[in-house]
Structure 1
């Protein structure tokens, strides 16, 4: 009997992490979640931070679960959100705290940077969407407030790279996540050392950029002793969106993808970046993808708003109840800008929504249903606006939208997206990021000839449902 080769994706998002095993069986990809844990921000030394030590302990717990189930992976890959980083000193010890992108330390840093290099020139160099929490602004904030940390630093590591280091003792920077820093040159596809020097950020801390499928190394001996087995650590697209886009279940270039989770990432794949002024004015980003593809997309606040609103409700509603509440309030007229900075890390998301409506002289939502519908409706209209912008910038009409990731389960938002965009909307697969992570490992192992074959296998392996509006009601049917 042929032994099954398991691949482990450790997919860590802003609100939770999961260990998902994947393998090939009868020509299809099978996955199984074997461990899940919560993630979130903590307040430390006056900043919002990630609890990196706890995240790593949860990684170890999940690896122990593999041993307990006797499902030892051939390799593992770790992906997380982008932009956040840690610094190591000459002894490879952590410097400072792992401050999170939702912290306010970057306020005003854009103005200071634009006194050195204009926003227009910056975009022309890297093609990355301006977001005030991008790594470039975080590093500049560190230079302004804690320059001693930068002067002591020997290594710059994004979050998944640091977790890889803890497992293997090896330091390797990965390309797709590096592009989220706004410090990678779109033309050279390497760190923009000239830009770093302009900003007085030490260039020595930035290591060689490695592509997905690169081996980081095997577990350190103390990790082997703790989890009970050795394993190779492989770089997937370590930025979670980079992995998610790999799992879009089509090779058709006539489709737009929407990776829906805490953040919504909406865009297309391109083979060359678009760093033009028109693209900048539309605020599109050219993030690096697998095999030097480009993820031409926009970041949208996404399900983060819904997650926070749900926490504030006194009753813990089921998703069906949430959809019902929102549907009851479907004539509520107010629209919010879901990307407004007031929604990034408010004390109360409900109050932030109300304050925005007050500020913009709109009707203030009073009921839970009105709050929900206001967010749902605003998200869907934002998606529709971005579809129009993509078509305007590319001078091309797209017929389909593939919604992937956990947010694709939100049938109410899918319905509104189909309604406002007028496109064919397909939902699935749900665990797109983990699947894309696993696909990278399988491509390294030569289980697939290329990404085209891998995507064809994804399409026949997972539920992909088409969303339609019939007499005002939403329904989906399985295409497989």
Structure 2
């Protein structure tokens, strides 16, 4: 059968899958799955990208040993992280992760050293302020004055670097580049002002190119596979696979991170959007993903890691038995970014504020669930206010679609109809992006309709919560 290889990399795992048509529906078949864990290099939290690359090659080899006729491959991953190369194409420094602590305080330094206000930066980039944005990572690097800094020739984002290692072509894909806070969001070009502000050099940056184009080929055992630069930011691919057909439907990419927002033809960088810290990330066809970045299921994953015998269904079951909305946190607090113990970090969050803290494991879990649902509602309210849109439906995609307790809680708190599926949104978006590049389908809308007809959509109808407005007010007071 004819297919394409979808390489979908997340912060905790990676998959090599094949996407193909079967009786008018898109199907996925997984060939290889592997862990993607951060490793400590000295005091820095890093990615083991060479291990990831080896695992990708193992997966491709498994696919080529099958009966599939492969037409291309594409890679999507998380955003903001990058690799610096010298003129010979060799990496400089470590593959430091966005969860590393080196960026603490860099945002303030950028503003002070360049007489730039946060409003100035937001007006240019349209990107929300997060401690780990590429602009802050580069500021941290340039302030260190490493002895290799003068040898930097090019910057490649993670999927661009992996594509380079496969096909030898240095390329910059737009959707991943858009997460950096270094692009002019309206012109979709690198901003010299923002690049200079973080101490980087404009010559390091390759002009960003729109996704869904063949850039080179990977050769293995006499077989040449075209390498497709897809919408390489995993959220961009996930949104591409989300069946959105009207302006009143929002999306929620529910995974390690929760990305909740809408599609827009234009970036929105007005004062309301700035005050809400909304982000305008790049999407397929030059569209924008106006969204809010929320810490997401990372909190659940980290708590679960402290109790490895429990399954995710065990955890949601424990939460469902607890008294709701007793304990609430701001899930986006930086203390939850990468603590040694998430349980301890959550309890300390309350203690620092002289608030009663959850004592039992199930209370901690319930606190996370309730706080996430309230964060979703707050984000949707902000987006509706900024855009003057009436949002009456939410499409949840990604691994979080399997958490029925959270999805129902989201419907109840947001008082909105919630539709779930597809679960493998990033991988499917990767696939349809390749199909578009190969002229196997005509456009994004056609791909979305095929994905919707290929999915088992589930509806969660909102149920009444007593005292909901008071609960929301309590949550907002914690921000």
Bucket of the pairwise TM-score, normalised by the shorter protein: over 0.9
1:330 counterpart SS class: coil
Q: Which residue of 2 aligns with 1:88?
A: 85
Conserved 8 A contact 2:415-2:463? no
Q: Of 98, 103, 107, which residue of structure 1 is paired with 2:100? A: 103
Partner SS state of residue 377, structure 1? helix
Root-mean-square deviation over aligned CA pairs: 1.4
CA distances 1:348-402 after superposition (whole Å, capped 9, x unpaired): 0000010111122332112221111000000001101111111111112111000
> Structure 1 length normalisation: TM-score?
0.94
The equivalent residue for 1:31 is 28
Aligned positions, number = 463
1:179 alignment counterpart: 178
1:405 and 2:398 correspond: yes
Report if aligned partners of 1:250, 1:456 keep a CA contact under 8 Å in 2: no
Separation in structure 1 between the aligned mates of residue 336 and residue 199 of structure 2, nearest angstrom: 32
Q: Which residue of 2 aligns with 1:45?
A: 42
Task: Describe the SS at the equivalent of 2:461.
Answer: strand
Aligned to 1:335: 328
- Looking at structure 2, the residues matched to 67 and 185 of structure 1 have their Cα atoms a distance apart, in angstroms, of 41
8 Å contact kept, 2:415–2:462: no
Alignment of 1:328-477 (within 5 A): 328-331=321-324, 333-468=326-461
Partner residue in 1 for 2:476: none
Determine if contact 2:176/2:231 at 8 Å carries over to the other structure: yes
Answer whether contact 1:66 1:72 (CA < 8 A) is retained.
no
Corresponding position of 2:477: none
**Which has the larger displacement, 79-88 or 203-212?**
203-212
How far residue 252 of structure 1 moved from its aligned partner, in angstroms, is: 2.0
Q: Is the 8 A contact 2:217 2:224 kept in 1?
A: yes
CA-CA distance at 1:229 after TM superposition: 2.4
TM-score of the aligned structures, taking structure 2 as reference length: 0.94
Tell me the CA shift for residue 469 of structure 1: 5.4
Deviation track 1:83-113 (CA, whole Å, cap 9, x = no partner) reads 0000110111111101000001011111110
After TM superposition, the structure 1 = structure 2 runs for residues 114-153 of structure 1, keeping only pairs within 5 Å, are 114-115=111-112, 116=114, 117-153=116-152
For residue 71 of structure 2, give the secondary structure of its aligned residue in structure 1: strand
Residue 200 to residue 353, structure 1, CA distance change in 2 (3 Å):
closer
**Which digits, 9 at most, give the CA deviation of each residue in 1:297-353, with x for residues without a partner?**
01100010100100102x522333222211111335110000000000001000001
- Does 2:217 align with 1:218? yes
- Listed as ranges, the gaps of 5+ residues in structure 2 are 466-479
1-side partners of 2:379 and 2:181: how far apart? 21
Q: Cα offset for 1:200?
A: 3.3
Match of residue 478 from structure 1 = none
CA distance in 1, matches of 2:340, 2:351: 17
- 1:21 pairs, out of 18, 29, 33, with 18
* Residue of structure 1 equivalent to 2:469: none
Q: Secondary structure at the match of 2:161?
A: helix
Correspondent of 1:74 among 49, 71, 74: 71
What is the rounded CA distance, in whole Å, between the counterparts of 1:405 and 1:462 in structure 2? 12
The Cα shift of 1:118 comes to 1.4
Q: Note if contact 1:6-1:23 (Cα within 8 Å) is conserved in structure 2.
A: yes
CA distance in 2, matches of 1:182, 1:200: 14
Range 209-218 or range 432-441, more displaced = 209-218
Q: Secondary structure at the match of 1:133?
A: coil
* Superposed CA offset, 1:389-438 (max 9, x none): 11111112111000000111111110110000000001110000000000
Look up the SS of the partner of 1:17 in the other structure: strand
